[in-house]
Structure 1
Amino acid sequence: FVEIQTPSSSDANEVFETINSRGKDLSTVDLVRNFLMEKSTGSHEKDRVNNAWRSLLDDFQRREDIEKFLRHFWVSKHGDVKSHSLYVTIRKSLTEHFDQRPQVYGVGKFSAELENAASRYAELISQNTGDSDFDATLSEVKALSADALYPLLLSASERYEYHEMQALLQAALSYYVRWTVVGTRESTLLEENLFGVAKDLSKGESLENAAKRVAGWIPDDDAFFAAFKEASIPKQAQSRYLLAKLEAHLRSDAGIHEEISFGAGKVHVENIYPSNPEVHLKVDDHDSWLNRLGNLTLLSGKRNQVTSVRPFPEKAHIYSSSSMLISSRAQVASLWDSETGRWRMQGIVERQDYMARIALSVWPSSINVG
């Protein structure tokens, strides 16, 4: 430990930042707290900052969640800013407010806003809003790691009840799936759009108008259908999510209301045409077919490596008897030619076309926003 004596707390904070800039970087959260303590005009404001930070530590279990919250909180009010420049941006913007005379917006008000937003953000990321339908859709956001949606939801939750935000959330989710997950388009534009709406919401734009704007960016059915038919999804979390949603749709159509947990360990994603087929059955362009959605399905329980690599005739009964309709009733058998005893890649194309038609209803382009 090194003791450095300074004539004032302001000087102490300046020394703190100088040492930090020349040594191991502190987190943005630490730097912002230090800055707010520096700008506090008395013990009351310092207590307000400390109370806000205690709330952050209570609301979030992981340090990374606090870091993510701080950025999303700022984005929800001011638009896009990258993590590496977040502290500099916050410091510059707040200094302009805090140094105004007479001061209209000070440390206490900012700390109160931060504390209030933290509790709502914790409810969003933990799917614990108290609205079961809204929480169910939030679980899809988490399954996809669609973090770009949180600033928009945080901004809306400041003035609206969660049940009122369902249309906005559904529009944003369809936009994310159609644009990013299946369409594999540049995510930067999607983020800019959503962050811009979040900023406008915080400045008073109506929820209905915000939802209409988001819905207007959802790729149309023709584009989505074409992208889905060709989609290859190497990320297992994303493929599990897509297949689980298709499964839920099939179950609804079949009048099956049994609840199934689609979490990791409960069901697994199976490559029908396997990643390591027998040498004489390996097809040309093996890698390009492996993660095509038409080649993927769901089976209950953890993945059994021994079963997965068996020839199709030896595991056909596993698919046909599966409780997962995406396996038992979704054209899995079309991937195998029983006459030639070889894999049939056209079956992947046909099955994926079938899945794409279902997907149009699962992630609609037309959202009723009121």
Structure 2
Amino acid sequence: MSIKVLVVDDSSFFRRRVSEIINADPLLEVVGTAANGKEAIEQVRRLRPQVVTMDIEMPQMNGIDAVREIMRTNPVPVLMFSSLTYEGARSTLEALEAGAADFLPKRFEDIANDKAHAIALLQQRVRAIASRRTSLASTRTTATRPTTTATTSVSKPTLNTQFSSSRPAVKPASDVGAVKMPPRASGKQYRLLAIGTSTGGPVALQRILTQLPANFPLPIVLIQHMPAAFTPAFAQRLDSLCQINVKEAAGGEILKPGCAYLAPGGKQMLIDGSSRSPKLTIRDGGEQLNYKPSVDVTFGSAARIFKGDVLAVVLTGMGADGREGARMLQKEGANIWAQDEASCVVYGMPQAVAAAGISSYSIPLEKMAECLKKEILR
């Protein structure tokens, strides 16, 4: 049975083009279209699609408000189409917080250099988010700064702004993705927290980072698959919501405790220097790499500099980026955690490390920050 899709855009040309691409996949079927947010809400109620593709800027009701209402009344995975501009990034992040599952650039040439690849990627994204039929409402978080009595207030500045071949045993399929929580703090000492994610990551990162105290004792590196136009806005958004400092990473910076460094879109973020004076290096993406930024690249560099003094977390996302970097970290003695299947938007990246036997625990998103604080704070 094919996956039912609703296409929403105020441009009849774009509705037709997206419909043609979706219908060209034998696993997908467009069951309806809508020209604005109000029509989309009604069509979702009437047609019960399994996925909605949604434009942001539309007359009568925009895509953000439509997503918010759909999630309130008839939750369904939504794929947003966005312009690759700073304002487009801000709107897209707002749509993701409202409940959208993922996004793609609206111009197909911005998705991939090759037209056929761009088409295949759109079809793949629709199939991927359709596999998660549960409501995303439970994993969303209100965009407000958390309060805590356990930390001191910190004034924050305005921002301007090849792997190991050794393979552990593969876990039985029945164990992969099941919740497995750390029973207690391990007592291990860390020098770095590293988090990698993709689809569903912006909301997951916000959920976790907003719960960390201002005096968090480690530097944090964040690798989120995201276009270059989006990472400055995403970093600034997180910084405005979190007690820790969050910024888009720049080359030459010395890693500092209580600060999270977001890998710039379209680039690779590596850690150089020494474990006592670690610094960031930002390089061009590299044509041979599928992901820019790549979790594998950053995790691998962390293994080289920090050895086993790393806690690495792999969150929701398509594909297997992070598995080989996590394998390198594990070989050095680092601890690897994964997000559990039920709380992921797409259970790809966490599944890759869990199935390979690399991750020690599979933790629900709503428990991740609590577990991190228990493990790291003394």
Q: Which has the higher strand share?
A: 2
Please give the range of the TM-score, normalised by the shorter of the 2 chains. Answer: under 0.3
Q: Which has the larger radius of gyration?
A: 1
Q: Which has the higher helix share?
A: 1
Q: Give the TM-score taking structure 1 as reference length.
A: 0.28
Q: Give the TM-score taking structure 2 as reference length.
A: 0.28
